Amino acid sequence: MKLISKALVVSALIGLFCFCLPAISNAQLATKISVNQNTDTILIQAQITGLSKDQVSLNLFKQAEIIDFSGLQVMPNGDAGFLLKSTGGNTAQIKYALKIDQSQIQYLTEDQNWYPRSHADIIQTFSIDVKTEKGTEAIHSATGQNESGISIVIGKFIKYVSPSKKIAIYLQNEDLALANTLIQNLDLYLSNDEQKFGPYPYDQFSVVESSDEIGYAFPRMTWIGSQLLRFPFILRTSLPHELLHSWWGNSVFVDYKTGNWCEGLTVFGADYALLNDSEKATYRQKALLEYVDYVKTATEISLSEFVSRGEDKSLQAIGYNKSLMMFVMLEQLVGADTLNKALAIFSQKYKFVEASYANIFEILSSLKPEKESALHNFFTTWILEKGAITFDSLKAEATEVSQGFEIVFSLNNDELKKLGELPVDFSIYFTDGMRQLATLSAGLPLKMRVDKKPQQFTIDPQHKLFRKLSDDERPLTFSKFFAATQVQIQASGKTLETLAAVFPSVGFESVLACSQNLNSSEILMIENYPGGIPEIDESLAKRSVELHPDFLLIDNQKISLAENGYFIFLKVKSQMVILFQTNISLSMNRWFERWSHYGAQGFVVLTPKAAVKQGVWDNPYIQDFEIQKESLIIR
């Protein structure tokens, strides 16, 4: 019996499904569960205490074969299974059986009601005792603390345990090399997390290999498909992310009424923290790019309103990307040591209770009383209010003085309010080709002196501020394509027919056949581009790209097109242009499915199984100084 849907397949880019506890009241029910697996049957006994006559109803799934019960009314409830109600006493018991296929691993998630479960705004505490046949393992998420529910997996596994006993790996077949790799890395991640945030909240973190290509994360454990478990990115991103959720979301609960802080904080403390400085800069740029592409002013919400992302890219860009950038800026405002100290206090003070963004800021204010006003402004701007910084009004004036030039940057009041006391980075370019980096505090006059004549500058070159990238500086990536509503295509009839069928499902309102006309729609797609449009040819040459019938040249690398295909995104004037050639061994539907995983890329060359080359063409927004009388002015 499979009790989990194969539809829950995890994309190689979005990691595991996170299950942070929902907003709930104080614990009222205590449930003691005994699980006894015997050949093709699982016997379950549940004892529930804390009931009252008007206690909320409990649910039990329909696969249960009820054997005995007391203190309960048991009523059939259609496809929902059974409805259980107290007969008035404080305690109730129920015993039931589940028929299973012993040859398959059993996955029982909390939302399947495999135990008597309340769906009201209520917490249950659980204690669980499991007995299995020899050679069979049972791994569950029960912690003995306040919980919204528990999940369990029962099956034949080979178990590997770390020397610290805090990491357990359950594999379906012997694979010592994989187990050692997972243990070594997870032990290191856990040790680092404990140093920052205090002791691991549970006795052990388990990674369980799944028969299906799924990704599920719970307190104490995560289930993940066999292939996914062996992808390198899982070890670098998804697993440390889910491990950190043991602190953020699964032991410190989220007060969803005031905004879900745990996703952004987990990305900040895991996915982002494990990168080097160069990778962090790229990650920040990608976060800003997705915000610009997916978030529309009319539907934007604040961080205090974010609950979960679902499948909505705009919500992800807010609840994950903006929240990440908020913590990046907060670290700049108070310092890394202070922020880490505050988070360590936060993790212990609010262990197994609900907490909010405000609680983090209260702790920071107590540690940095001199920053209380700045923190209040920061909280209001980035948690309660919508939007991002824009530098539309930015201008800079450079005046020649006795020992060089004095540069003064000016912003409007709204931009200055959003910046508060945050540091602002500038790159100054000089007429001799040299560059100077400078960091100024937004709480002071934005001025500096240089010893030679400046020519150009950029603001926030490393993308450390949460701001809207201008059209002139945004890198050329496919994510812009997925945010568009209209596309025109120059392609063969078969390709056009396939794309016209596929694209409406991802939000396009209009898919039109067309000639090679620039500026006629949001996006122009051209299949097997033969050359001949000067603006496109010039853009390709600028990026060292040559298209030939049988091969592709990118950065002097020759790539055969016999078994490969490509998608290249260009920005020609104000027109988005996508040049593409597909591999005949894959359907266009499959190509599009593959391509949709590369939203952060500007070009990608795909084989039927992998990307052989991918990358981004940067488009830095460098502004020029203009000479006016004795000063250099830029507007």
Per residue, the 3-state secondary structure of 454-487, as one string, reads EEEEEECCCCCCCECCCCCCCCECCHHHHCCCEE
Confidence of residue 519 (pLDDT cuts 50, 70, 90): low
Residue of higher predicted confidence among 168 and 29: 168
339 and 413 together in one domain: no
Residue 21 in domain: no
In total, the chain counts a number of residues equal to: 635
Flag whether pLDDT at 629 surpasses 70. Answer: no
pLDDT of 5 reads: 28
Residue 570 in domain: yes
What are the pLDDT digits (tens) for 252-285? 999 999 999 999 999 999 999 999 999 999 899 9
Give counts: helices (H), strands (E), the chain.
Answer: 16, 39
Comparing 267-276, 419-428, 468-477, which segment has the lowest mean pLDDT? Answer: 468-477
Domain ranges, residue 445:
395-473+624-634
What are the pLDDT digits (tens) for 184-212? 999 999 999 999 999 999 999 999 999 88
> H or E stretch including 434?
none
The chain-wide mean pLDDT, for the chain, equals 83
401 and 374 together in one domain: no
Work out how many domains the chain is built from and give that number: 4
Confidence of residue 589 (pLDDT cuts 50, 70, 90): low
Flag whether pLDDT at 349 surpasses 90. Answer: yes
Backbone dihedral angles phi then psi of residue 258, each to the nearest 5 degrees: -115, 10
What are the pLDDT digits (tens) for 535-588? 888 888 877 888 888 888 887 888 888 777 787 878 776 677 888 887 655 566
Q: In what order do the strands lie in the sheet with 58-60?
A: 72-76, 82-86, 58-60, 117-118
Encoded amino acid at 83, one letter: L
What are the pLDDT digits (tens) for 364-383? 999 999 999 999 999 999 99
pLDDT of 569 reads: 78
88 and 110 together in one domain: yes
Burial 387-398 (b: 16+ CB within 10 A, else e): bbbbbeebebbb
- Select from 329, 337, 406 the least CA-distant residue to 367: 337
Q: How far is CA 419 from CA 301, 328, 374, 414, 446, in A?
A: 20, 13, 10, 9, 12
pLDDT of 482 reads: 67
404 and 335 together in one domain: no
How do strand 205-210 and strand 167-171 relate by DSSP bridges?
Answer: parallel
Residue of higher predicted confidence among 488 and 329: 329
Flag whether pLDDT at 1 surpasses 60. Answer: no
Residue of higher predicted confidence among 500 and 311: 311
Residues 163, 302: Cα–Cα separation, whole Å: 44
Residue 20 in domain: no
Residue 461 in domain: yes
603: exposed, middle or buried (C-beta count within 10 Å: 0-12, 13-18, 19+)? buried
- Select from 403, 486, 483 the least CA-distant residue to 449: 403
109 and 238 together in one domain: yes
Flag whether pLDDT at 445 surpasses 70. Answer: yes
Confidence of residue 591 (pLDDT cuts 50, 70, 90): low
The pTM for the full model equals: 0.77
N-term to C-term CA, the chain: 68
- Select from 461, 464, 465 the least CA-distant residue to 619: 461
- Among 322, 349, 384, the domain-final residue is 384
What are the pLDDT digits (tens) for 278-330? 999 989 999 998 999 899 989 999 999 999 988 889 999 999 999 999 999 99
Residues 24, 46: Cα–Cα separation, whole Å: 22
Q: How far is CA 551 from CA 81, 492, 509, 581, 611, in A?
A: 59, 20, 34, 11, 16
71 and 172 together in one domain: yes
pLDDT of 380 reads: 97
372 and 284 together in one domain: yes
Cβ atoms of 385 and 259 closer than 8 Å: no
Flag whether pLDDT at 634 surpasses 60. Answer: no
**DSSP structure string for 249-290:** TTTBEE-GGG---HHHHHHIIIIITTS-HHHHHHHHHHHHHH
483 and 450 together in one domain: no
Confidence of residue 530 (pLDDT cuts 50, 70, 90): confident
Beta bridge pairs of residue 551: 560
What are the pLDDT digits (tens) for 69-105? 999 989 998 888 899 988 888 899 999 998 888 788 8
What are the pLDDT digits (tens) for 111-125? 888 988 886 767 778
Residues 418, 326: Cα–Cα separation, whole Å: 12
- Select from 96, 85, 88, 92 the least CA-distant residue to 34: 96
Residues 216, 19: Cα–Cα separation, whole Å: 8
Mean pLDDT, range 400-419, rounded to an integer: 88
Residue 66 in domain: yes
- Select from 329, 328, 327, 306 the least CA-distant residue to 317: 306
Cβ atoms of 110 and 17 closer than 8 Å: no
Cβ atoms of 110 and 51 closer than 8 Å: no
pLDDT of 580 reads: 85
Residue 15 in domain: no
pLDDT of 165 reads: 94
Domain CATH number, residue 377 = 1.10.390.10
Residue 5 in domain: no
Residues 609, 613: Cα–Cα separation, whole Å: 12
207 and 81 together in one domain: yes
Q: Find tokens 């990305």 and name the residue.
A: 267
276 and 130 together in one domain: no
What are the pLDDT digits (tens) for 49-68? 888 755 557 888 888 899 99
Residue 551 in domain: yes
pLDDT of 358 reads: 97
pLDDT of 104 reads: 86
Encoded amino acid at 379, one letter: F
pLDDT of 370 reads: 96
Cβ atoms of 357 and 379 closer than 8 Å: yes
pLDDT of 23 reads: 40
pLDDT of 99 reads: 87
Give the number of other CB atoms < 10 A from CB of residue 404: 14
Q: How far is CA 351 from CA 17, 39, 337, 523, in A?
A: 22, 40, 21, 50
Give the number of other CB atoms < 10 A from CB of residue 624: 10
281 and 353 together in one domain: yes
484 and 468 together in one domain: no
Domain CATH number, residue 507 = 3.30.379
Flag whether pLDDT at 468 surpasses 80. Answer: yes
Domain CATH number, residue 216 = 3.30.2010.30
